[in-house]
Structure 1
Amino acid sequence: MKILAADTATMSCSVALIDNGNLLCEQTLISGQTHSRHLMEMIKKGLDLAGLKMNDIDGFAVTKGPGTFTGLRIGISSIKGLAAASGKPVAGISSLAALAAQSSFSGHVCTMIDARRGEVYSARYSVSASGFNCSIVKQESAETVMTPEQTVSDIDGHALFIGNGAFLYQQKIKGILGHLAIFPSFLQNTIQASTIARLGMEQLQKKYSTEPHPLVPSYIRASDAEKMRSNR
């Protein structure tokens, strides 16, 4: 099964192509520019590097959030468009679950994505790692948005903290948990599209596919525009 996957949930923009268990191509870019300037170009380049045409793709996968509102909209709308045009299924993958899956760590994992305003999007997982990017992940808590202090307040054992939010608030987490807090290589804090592709393939093989139209971003927190409307 050939899967084209994209991630635009954070500052990084990543595209990958896999063929069953084989990684054909992966690109990751952090430019500080809007993902709309690079995503489709990266997809075209990825197909060219892998020697594939769009018609060769069996399914698509994309991060559905949480993450930056604009980034999620760009990634989801682009992948939904490709899926609709090709008539192929698409899988929406949690950005927090993807971080846990690529942690290469066995034990309790707390994923954190910077939500701005001094908060993080977070969820907790139990991970059994069997090699890089090949982990068995069980979600243990709901996805939430809160301060780093609130996120770690009830943790009483060793845990791995991963994601750009964990990197941003690493010293604060260490100050609260001390030696109980474990942190990965900084490279693992960036969501990898190859992880999204693998998780998407697993969903599609289990027929947990999503038709293009119902796939919507999982924001967790209301946007400023939504807050303004609700306050009127």
Structure 2
Amino acid sequence: MILALETATEFGGVALLEGTDLIAECELEPGQHHARALLAELDQLLRRAGRRLDEVDWIALSIGPGSFTGLRIGLATALGLCFGTARKIVPVPTLAALSLNAGAAPRIVPILDARRNQIYTGLYAPEAVELRTDRVCDPRPWFESLAEEGPLQLLGSGAQLYREIALEILGAAACVLAPDRGQPRASSVGRLALRLAREGAPCAPEAVELRYLRRAEAEEKRALDTLPRNP
């Protein structure tokens, strides 16, 4: 059984899967992204499904990009669930999991708001096949780079935020999906983890690396503070 954790965005979730079959899933409300709430939701999910934690074989973890705090809470929770067991973690890129919400569109552009007038994004084919690597960038140059890609489905918080710019540049080639399809889901994380596990992705808990794509704002400030100043 796979336990999937999604904490990369404001709306997170927890899911249980047996192979590709979804056993149960719950979504976290904004403000529930702390370890105690996450574990409480997991406990309730197991109870509702009539399953036990010791039945979990793997932890599927959304590794970002996304909220730095949310990602760290997800990782800490996954590490705690693996402690003292033989469980391994399957790291799942958040944007790849989000791309599954678009279905069978030929070109899929998941976009999350990265704040500071930037986005986290990438380009995918169906089944979360990566065509361009995930990145953090300014929206306008990114949309301009997609002009020759043909029909595109855009989804995610960044797609909603920069919808007008995307449609201005891409015109009829771009379809911005509804907001309810723009949140990464724990069930998608779990289903993608199954494929990645078959490709050899499970790793020891201590080897998991989060995909931040950039340093936290506080870390950047500390780095700037260490630079020599002109007299």
Alignment of 1:188 with 2:181, yes or no, is yes
Say if 1:22 and 1:34 are closer, same or farther in 2 by CA, change over 3 A: closer
Alignment of 1:143 with 2:142, yes or no, is no
Provide the TM-score with structure 1 as the length reference.
0.90
Which residue in the other structure is 1:178 paired with?
A: 171
Structure number, greater radius of gyration:
2
Measure the CA separation in 1 of the matches of 2:128 and 2:93: 12
SS in 2 for 1:122: strand
Measure the CA separation in 1 of the matches of 2:97 and 2:178: 16
Which residue in the other structure is 1:122 paired with?
A: 121
Tell me the CA shift for residue 16 of structure 1: 0.3
Alignment of 1:201 with 2:194, yes or no, is yes
Provide the TM-score with structure 2 as the length reference.
0.91
Tell me the CA shift for residue 224 of structure 1: 2.0
Within-5 A mapping of 1:1-232? 2-127=1-126, 136-156=127-147, 157-231=150-224, 232=226
SS in 2 for 1:107: coil
- Alignment-mate amino acid for residue 26 of structure 1: E
- Taking only the aligned residue pairs, the percentage that are identical comes to 30
- Alignment-mate amino acid for residue 168 of structure 1: L
Measure the CA separation in 1 of the matches of 2:145 and 2:64: 24
1:169-213 CA-to-partner distances (Å, cap 9, x unmatched) read 112211222211112232210111001111112222333211100
Which residue in the other structure is 2:229 paired with?
A: none
Question: Is this contact kept in 1: 2:64–2:71, CA < 8 A?
Answer: yes
Number of paired residues? 223
Measure the CA separation in 2 of the matches of 1:21 and 1:142: 26
Measure the CA separation in 2 of the matches of 1:111 and 1:153: 16
- Alignment-mate amino acid for residue 223 of structure 2: S
Question: Is this contact kept in 2: 1:13–1:39, CA < 8 A?
Answer: no
Question: Is this contact kept in 1: 2:109–2:122, CA < 8 A?
Answer: yes
Question: Is this contact kept in 1: 2:32–2:38, CA < 8 A?
Answer: no
Tell me the CA shift for residue 85 of structure 1: 3.2
Measure the CA separation in 1 of the matches of 2:159 and 2:138: 11
Tell me the CA shift for residue 112 of structure 1: 0.6
Question: Is this contact kept in 2: 1:167–1:186, CA < 8 A?
Answer: yes
- Alpha carbon RMSD of aligned pairs, Å? 1.5
| Structure 1: tracts of 5 or more residues without a match | 128-135
Tell me the CA shift for residue 61 of structure 1: 0.5
Measure the CA separation in 1 of the matches of 2:157 and 2:167: 15
